[in-house]
Amino acid sequence: MKNIFSLILAGMIGGVTVLGINKISQEETVVNYNQSPRATLASQNSAAAVVLPIDFVRASEYATEVVVHIMAEESLTSARKRQEDSRKSRRSPFDDFFGGDLFGNDFFGQDFFRGNGQKNGSGSGVIFSKDGYIVTNNHVVGFADNILVTLQDGREVKATKIGTDPSTDLAVLKIDVEGNLPTLEFANSDDVKVGEWVLAVGNPFSYLTSTVTAGIISAKGRDLDIISEDKSIEEFLQTDAVVNPGNSGGALVSTEGKLLGINTAIATPTGVYAGYSFAIPSNLVKRVVYDIIENGDIERVNLGVLGYDVDESVVSDYSLNIDYGFYVDSMDKRSIAQLSGMLPGDVIVAVDYKKVEKFEDIVELMKYNKAGDTVNITVKRKKKDKNIKVKLRKGL
C-alpha cells in the first residue's frame, strides 16, 4: 500500500508541475496590444521574436479631423500692384521665393502661383485652437486676399489672415464657426528620434483631400537654404513620408496622434515627391504661431554689421586684447547697429548677456528676435565693456 500511495502522490506532483510549466509558457506568449504599437510575440519553439505591425489607425483619425483644405486667391487690385512693382524693378519679388534652387528643393504648389495674372493655389492647414486659429505655410496664403477653408466635415468657411512670418514660412488664419473645433496635442519635436515612424496628412494635388501617408524621420535640423529671407530660420525635420504639391501646411504626426510639425517642402528634380520631404518642427511652430496671434505679421531684422570673427590674425591686425567675439569693421548706412551707437572697431562679445564667440553665435542668439524687440548687445570698446540697448526697427 505504501508503494502504491507513493506512486499516486508522485504522479499527482508530476502532473501539477507539468500543468504549471505549461501555463507559464502560455502566459509568456500573451501579448498586451495596449502597451505598445511595437508589441513582441515570443515564439515557443524559437528564441526569435516577431515584431507586430504598427497601427496608424487612431493617429490617422485624430489627424484627419484637424487638417483642413485651403484655397487661396490674390485680388485683382493686389495683382495689378504686384505687376506694376515688378515692371519697375524688372523682376518679380516672388522669383527667388518660388524658384527653388540648384538642388531642386521646392515649396509645394509653387507651379500654381506662377504667371502675371492673379495668383491662386491650394494647400493644407492645421487647426491650432478650438476657437478657429489655423496654422499653415506663408507660401500657401502669403500672397492671398481671399481665402476659403474647407473643414473635414465638408463645411466651407472664409478665413481671415491674422499674420505671417516669411522667415519661418508660417502663417496663421482665423475662421469663425459654431462650437469647439478639434485640435491635436503638440509633441516635443526636440525629443523625436531619427527612425521614428510618422504620418503626413494633407491634400495633395488639391483633389486628394485628407490623404494619409507614413514614413520615418530620416534626419533632423536640416538647413536647406530655401527660404529667401535674410533672417530665415530653417530647422526642418526630414522624412520619407510621401507628400506632394497641396500638402503644404499639412500635419506631420506621431504614431500617438500628436503634432510633430508642419509639412513645408520637398527635395525633388521633378516638382513631385522624389523620396524626401521636410517639416517645420512643432516647437518652432508653436512659438511663432503664438507670436503671430499676439502681434500680427512678424518682420525679422538684422543688425547690419560687417566684420570678422576674432582669431589670431584679427587680434594681431587690430591690436585686440580679446581672443573671441565678432570684430565690427563697418556697418550698413542707417542700419540698426549704426543708429544704436555701435562703432567700427567694437567687438561684439555678448547678446543679451550670452557669450558670442563668432558671428554664427549672433545669428543663433537673435534668430527669434523681430522688429519691436529690444536686445542688449555687449561690445568691447577700447578695452572696456559697453552695453548697448538696441531697438530693432522696421524698414531700415
Tens digit of pLDDT for each residue in 152-199?
Answer: 999 999 999 999 999 899 999 999 998 899 999 999 999 999 999 999
- Count of the separate structural domains present in the chain: 3
The predicted structure's pLDDT at residue 98: 35
Q: Which residue has the cell 565693456?
A: 385
Average of per-residue pLDDT across 334-349: 92
Asked if 124 and 256 sit in the same domain, the reply is: yes
Asked if 24 and 78 sit in the same domain, the reply is: no
Asked if 97 and 240 sit in the same domain, the reply is: yes
Whether the CB-CB separation of 110 and 149 falls below 8 Å is answered with no
Phi–psi pair at 324, nearest 5 degrees: -150, 170
The predicted structure's pLDDT at residue 368: 84
The 3-class secondary structure across the chain, one letter per residue, is: CHHHHHHHHHHHHHHHHHHHHHHHHHHHHCCCCCCCCCCEEECCCCCCEEECCCCCHHHHHHHHHHEEEEEEECCHHHHHHHHHHHHHHCCCCCHHHHCCCCCCEEECCHHHHCCCCCCEEEEEEEECCCCCEEEEEHHHHCCCCEEEEECCCCCEEEEEEEEEECCCCEEEEECCCCCCCCCCCECCHHHCCCCCEEEEEECCCCCCCCEEEEEEEEEEEECCCCCCCCCCCCCEEEECCCCCCCCCCCEEEECCCCEEEEEEEEECCCCCCCCEEEEEEHHHHHHHHHHHHHHCCCCCCCCCEEEEECCHHHHHHCCCCCCCCEEEEEECCCCHHHHHCCCCCCEEEEECCEECCCHHHHHHHHCCCCCCCEEEEEEEECCEEEEEEEECCCCC
Residue 259 has pLDDT above 50, yes or no: yes
**Full domain range(s) for residue 32:** 2-53
**Could you tell me the pLDDT band of residue 238, with boundaries at 50, 70 and 90?**
very high
Q: Confirm whether 29 is domain-assigned.
A: yes
**Could you tell me the pLDDT band of residue 334, with boundaries at 50, 70 and 90?**
confident
Average of per-residue pLDDT across 36-57: 52
Distances (CA, A) of 339 to 177, 189, 335: 47, 38, 6
Query: In the Cβ-directed half-sphere of 266, how many Cα atoms lie within 13 Å?
Result: 23
71-111 pLDDT, tens digit each: 999 988 888 887 777 776 654 443 433 333 333 444 444 43
The predicted structure's pLDDT at residue 370: 86
- The C-alpha cell of 43 is what? 515564439
Asked if 142 and 280 sit in the same domain, the reply is: yes
Q: Confirm whether 358 is domain-assigned.
A: yes
Q: Confirm whether 226 is domain-assigned.
A: yes
Q: Confirm whether 187 is domain-assigned.
A: yes
Q: What percent of the chain has pLDDT over 70?
A: 76
Asked if 249 and 350 sit in the same domain, the reply is: no
Least trusted range by pLDDT, from 21-25, 248-252, 310-314, 360-364: 21-25
The predicted structure's pLDDT at residue 222: 80
Asked if 216 and 321 sit in the same domain, the reply is: no
Asked if 173 and 113 sit in the same domain, the reply is: yes
Q: What is the CA radius of gyration of the chain?
A: 29
Q: Confirm whether 14 is domain-assigned.
A: yes
Residues assigned a catalytic role: 139, 169, 248
A 10 A CB-CB count for 297 gives 18
Average of per-residue pLDDT across 127-140: 96
Asked if 385 and 237 sit in the same domain, the reply is: no
> Would strands 374-381 and 384-391 be described as parallel, antiparallel, or unpaired?
antiparallel
Of 295, 314, 340, at which residue does a domain stop?
A: 295
Angle at 177 between CA 119 and CA 188, to 5 degrees: 80
- The C-alpha cell of 82 is what? 504686384
Least trusted range by pLDDT, from 24-38, 111-125, 216-230, 294-308: 24-38
Looking at every residue in the chain, the average pLDDT score rounds to 81
* List of residues 6+ apart from 273 with CB closer than 8 A: 242, 243, 244, 266
Q: Confirm whether 300 is domain-assigned.
A: no
The predicted structure's pLDDT at residue 12: 55
Residue 43 has pLDDT above 80, yes or no: no
**Could you tell me the pLDDT band of residue 227, with boundaries at 50, 70 and 90?**
low
Nearest in space to 125 (alpha carbons), one of 67, 86, 77 = 67
Question: Residue 121 forms beta bridges with which residues?
Answer: 72
Distance (Å, rounded) from C-alpha 155 to C-alpha 77?
A: 28
**Could you tell me the pLDDT band of residue 369, with boundaries at 50, 70 and 90?**
confident
The predicted structure's pLDDT at residue 36: 35
Q: Confirm whether 274 is domain-assigned.
A: yes
Average of per-residue pLDDT across 29-57: 47
pTM over cut 0.95: no
The predicted structure's pLDDT at residue 55: 78
378-392 pLDDT, tens digit each: 999 988 999 999 988
Q: Confirm whether 128 is domain-assigned.
A: yes
The predicted structure's pLDDT at residue 271: 74
Asked if 141 and 249 sit in the same domain, the reply is: yes
Whether the CB-CB separation of 248 and 139 falls below 8 Å is answered with yes
- Residue of higher predicted confidence among 395 and 46: 395
Whichever domain contains 82, its CATH number is 2.40.10.120
- The C-alpha cell of 303 is what? 543688425
Residue 241 has pLDDT above 60, yes or no: yes
- Residue of higher predicted confidence among 283 and 109: 283
Average of per-residue pLDDT across 120-141: 95
Residue 18 has pLDDT above 60, yes or no: no
The predicted structure's pLDDT at residue 104: 41
Nearest in space to 396 (alpha carbons), one of 290, 296, 304, 277 = 304
